[in-house]
A and B are shown apart, each in its own frame.
Chain A
Amino acid sequence: MGSEETPKRSKETDSNRSSRRDLLKGGVLAGGFTLGAVAGGAVAGRFASDAIAPALGQTPAAGPAPAPATASQNAYPMIPGSKELIEYGQRSHYVTSVRIAHPVGGRPSPDTFGKVFHVASPLQDSVGVITPSSLHYVATTRGSFIPDIDPNEHTLMIHGLVDQPLTFTMEDLKRLPSVTRLHFIECAGNRHNGRQKTVQESHGMTSCSEWTGVLLSTLLKECGLKGSATWFVAEGAEEVKGASSMPIAKAMEDCIIAYGMNGEAVRPQNGFPLRLLAPGFEGIFNTKYLRRIKIVDRYYTNYNDYGHLDRDPKDAALGFQIGPKSVITRPSGGQQLPGRGFYEISGLAWSGGGAIRTVEVSTDGGRKWNPAEIKGTPQRMAHCRFGYPWNWDGNETEILSRCTDEIGQVQPTREQVAQYWNVPFDRDYRVPGLDNSVMPWKIARDGSVTNGLA
């Protein structure tokens, strides 16, 4: 994706410099005169021109940038070819964006046992709509080891209220008609509050990938649903055998039994070799390591399920399907505007209700809302990239975004949500259901960007 091609001068942080030192120590210069150096000239030229544009970074600009390339083709050290790089490439060591444990200060991943709990994606560095598989957020029910499943041994069994129970191997599934679709997955714990510093901390438990697999409806038609089928239970093969109940209407609408993710096999942390995609439903429903689907006639109230029960029908209605949500990822908390002038505000919008129809951006704290440009064609239940051209006049302000989806649902502010529930609004108000409220970023006169809820 484009990120690898965009050098961030201001991101010349200590770690970058030290990794460059490591590279030098490793004798890269000595090995620089390889075939790669011939093609290197063109790359160097592009770096030089791009470097003129001001760039935002996670940290304030750290000292002067390296001198731009001269005509010499040796202005930069060269990356020697290696077996690993040839076989399975790697991003530039200048690109240092990584996942972090979520929430900050919460349970670490890996924990002392080597279990993975919740890990958030670095949205502040995201471009486009696809989350690189290596940076996709990760969540497990109670903390889990990642199972090392041999795909040749793995099967999916479908049984229960069907005419013919069927077991499919991975090879069976790959013979069947497939779909390839963009879908986000978002954890129900993806909540923003005033204590978070960055968009990774506040919104990093969402990611979007291109998923490939067989529609669950295709498999269920093969099995033949009995008339009493109203729910299905999807179950994983990890040690806690995470299982969730979902309406059969969802299965027949758009669920995918996915073996592919972003052009390759689903990654182990994301459910290798097989996972369920329940597009637009809370993350926990998107069952990883999928081994079994049972068709049933009632809500099964397993461990993953009973938390979705509520006393109030209106509360209950906010479970399952995720509401319309957007956030500005750049500039966002912890970043720094180098000075007044032009910036494209960039962000992500998504909804469990369908495709994003419009996104609006306010650069004056929500008084005036302006239509944002949607990049590309918004897909249903997928991240949608938006942009808004902005000239910062150097004054303190607040920037926000809100979106509307294809069925007309509008992303609310926290005040509006409190009003709906008829409760007094204060800074610590918690939005019921998955928190899809508007996120403000504060821009200070010195160009620093901070959490507007703080």
Chain B
Amino acid sequence: MGSLRFAAIALLASAALGSPAFAQSSPTYGVGRAPTAAEIRALDISIGPTGEELPPGHGTAKEGVVLFEEKGCVGCHGAAGIGGPGPALKSKTGQDVPIPKRGESITSLFERILPLHSPFATTVWDFIHRAMPLGNEGTLSADETYALTAYLLFLNQVIPEDEVLDKQSLPKVKMPHRDDYTQLPDWKPRTPRLQGYPY
């Protein structure tokens, strides 16, 4: 994009409309504008398995246990992640956490609230950062999120207490079900989801 031609069209269009000229808008319709790098960074909160979106920072379980109290996590999740009115964050079955079958009930869903079933620890970081604490979502700093993630993974015997989590180490954490999942189906339009099902 960004070719002279498109820029010229955009300039002409915006001049005609009397609006400020944008460097780049959509090529066919001349609508929309290019977000700035800062705008993208501010919204780019979905953390993929490689962790490329993770911000700098670090934390350990020892820091996390303090934050778990300070940030009020205990109020909903209970001390050490169990016994509160909110979802339990410590698996009853430790490392041997079963994978719920498709359509299995709420009880297994509750074991799902801490994404221990996820093959990647990035899922845990991502959810804490975007959706916790209740009522103050999105307020945790990067360091705080690394520390809380470390604490919850330590609680569930996934990492040792002194392991430092950061942008490099978090994606490498070996989750209990890291290698247990099959490929997702290659979705194609106008195609049965499973050939021959159920007959």
Contacts and interface: CB of A to CB of B under 8 A. Distances in A.
- Indicate, yes or no, whether A interacts with B: yes
Interface of A: 106, 142, 157, 159, 163-169, 172, 175-176, 188, 191, 219, 221-224, 233, 235, 239-241, 243, 247, 249-250, 253-254, 291-292, 294, 296, 298-303, 305-321, 323, 352-354, 406-410, 412, 416-417, 419-420, 430-435
Contacts of A163: 1
Given A240-B137, A311-B182, A175 B31 contact: yes
A319 B43 contact: no
The 3 closest A-B pairs by CB, nearest first: A222-B26, A420-B198, A164-B1
Residue of B118, B194, B199 contacting most chain A CB atoms (<10 Å): B194
A222 B28 contact: yes
A254 B184 contact: no
Contacts of B39: 157, 167
Nearest to B48: A300
Given A163-B1, A323-B193, A432-B103, A302 B46 contact: yes
B192 interface: yes
Contacts of A165: 34-35, 40
A313 B185 CA distance: 7
Nearest to B50: A298
Interface string B150-191: 000000000000000000000000000000111111111111
B91 interface: no
Nearest to A297: B48
Contacts of A168: 31-32
A328 B192 CA distance: 24
B77 to A, nearest CB: 13
Contact of B185 (A166, A241, A292, A316): A316
Nearest to A241: B130
Contacts of B50: 298
Contacts of A224: 1, 27
Contacts of A312: 182
B99 interface: yes
Nearest to B113: A142
B48 A301 contact: yes
A249 B186 CA distance: 9
B60 interface: no
A433 B40 contact: no
B181 A241 contact: no
Given A239-B137, A243-B46, A435-B103, A164 B2 contact: yes
Given A166-B26, A224-B1, A301 B123 contact: yes
A232 to B, nearest CB: 10
B197 A420 contact: yes
A408 B192 CA distance: 8
Contacts of A164: 1-2, 24, 26-27, 34
23 contacts: A166-B24, A166-B25, A166-B33, A167-B39, A222-B31, A224-B27, A235-B45, A241-B131, A241-B137, A243-B130, A249-B187, A298-B49, A303-B126, A303-B130, A309-B117, A309-B184, A310-B102, A314-B194, A323-B197, A410-B199, A420-B197, A432-B101, A435-B103
Given A164-B2, A301-B120, A310-B102, A253 B32 contact: no
Contact of A416 (B182, B187, B190, B199): B199
Interface in B39-67: 39-40, 43-50
B127 interface: yes
A203 to B, nearest CB: 15
Given A164-B26, A239-B131, 11 more contacts: A164-B27, A167-B32, A168-B32, A222-B28, A240-B137, A303-B127, A313-B183, A316-B181, A320-B185, A352-B193, A406-B190
B120 A316 contact: no
Contact of B104 (A317, A321, A430): A430
B117 A306 contact: yes
Nearest to B31: A172
A249 B189 CA distance: 8
B83 interface: no
A250 B187 CA distance: 8
Residue of A224, A309, A315, A353 contacting most chain B CB atoms (<10 Å): A309
Given A235-B46, A302-B46, A306-B123, A319 B184 contact: yes
A310 B190 contact: no
A319 B182 CA distance: 13
Residue of A168, A233, A317 contacting most chain B CB atoms (<10 Å): A317
A38 B172 CA distance: 77
